[in-house]
Amino acid sequence: MKQRTIARPVESVGIGLHKGMPVRLRLEPLDAGSGIVFYREDAGVSIPLHPDFVVDTQMATVIGKNGVNISTIEHFLSAVYAYGIDNMRVILDDAEMPIMDGSAASFCMMLDEAGIEEQSAGKEILRIKKEVTVREGDKYVTLKPSETARFDFTIRFDHPVIAEQRRSFLFSKQAFVKEIARARTFGFLKEVQYLRSRNLALGGSLENAIVLDDTKVLNPEGLRFEDEFVRHKILDAMGDMKLLGRPIFGAYEAFAGSHDLNHRLTLALMADSEAYEVVTLKVEESREFAKSFA
């Protein structure tokens, strides 16, 4: 299997979640070995995709360099992960990715429009060799060796609609598009009101998030999946793991994981050279692995 970029440039415009202002997003191909590079054209700053450039994880995953930030990149990156894109330039004219409908579905559509181009260099993967875990109380996230690429997540909320949800996701692009990509971000009405009092979440609405009051979902169309909440957590986790720059051959597992725990997990993994190896896929290996991205 070879490295991948997109076949042609594509662009879209959407609303930023926190500022509520239009954001222009343009995707362009890059040469093999370039990685995913974000570019703030309004500030003239490029930000490579790497855990070292994560500057905030409180409300979303935020990368930054020289005081210039880009927020809420995880939904977009989950689609990039699923489509197996290794090299691409991501151009924005503001400090946020557009929120679209709160899921990764619109970004999948952009990548479908752009098309996939295989490049001459061999594809590299991150093979997990040793378990690495980050804990905070009873919450944890972990990466461990596995013969399959899996994302397993459990959430527990004191809310009648959510309660406890578990999902095990065996990775493939087709399964991502069908089972994960359409799962929307969610929040509670009282939290939204608090955020808006601080001039945040100004672009948030029932059009781009699931909103719950104390007892029910407020969106008139209801849920897209009965367990949409945990599916979205898997979406977030995939986006956060894309910060590692390569697809993971191993198993991710979490209980009540968060962007912060995910970031700390990527740093812990990178700090332990015995926990992983970067492998360029051989022909016989790549045929089987390529099926995941078909």
CB 63, CB 150: distance < 8 Å? no
**Residue 284: pLDDT band by 50, 70, 90 thresholds?**
low
Q: Are 14 and 20 in contact (CB under 8 A)?
A: no
27-31 average pLDDT score: 98
Confidence of residue 59 (pLDDT cuts 50, 70, 90): confident
Overall number of domains in the chain: 2
pLDDT tens, position by position, 203-219: 888 999 999 999 999 99
Is-catalytic flag, 159?
no
Q: Which structural domain, as residue segments, surrounds residue 16?
A: 2-121
pLDDT surpassing 80 at residue 131: yes
Alpha-carbon gap, residue 269 to 236, rounded angstroms: 18
Does 130 share its domain with 115?
no
User: 10 Å Cβ neighbour count for 220?
Assistant: 6
- 20 and 70 within one domain: yes
Closest to 229 (Cα-Cα) out of 137, 161, 177, 140: 161
List 18, 75, 232, 259, catalytic entry: 259
Predicted confidence band of residue 286 (pLDDT cuts 50, 70, 90):
low
Mean pLDDT rounded to a whole number for the chain: 94
CATH code of the domain covering residue 214: 3.30.1700.10
Picking from 75, 90, 121, the residue at the C-terminal end of a domain is 121
**Please, is 99 exposed, middle or buried when counting C-beta atoms within 10 Å of its C-beta (0-12, 13-18, 19+)?**
buried
Amino acid 289: pLDDT: 75
Residue among 69, 108, 111, 106 nearest 208 (CA): 106
pLDDT band at 269 (very low <50, low <70, confident <90, very high): very high
Q: Based on the fold, state whether residues 100 and 133 are members of the same structural domain.
A: no
Q: Are residues 105 and 161 in the same domain?
A: no
**pLDDT value of position 104:** 98
Residue 139 has a pLDDT of: 98
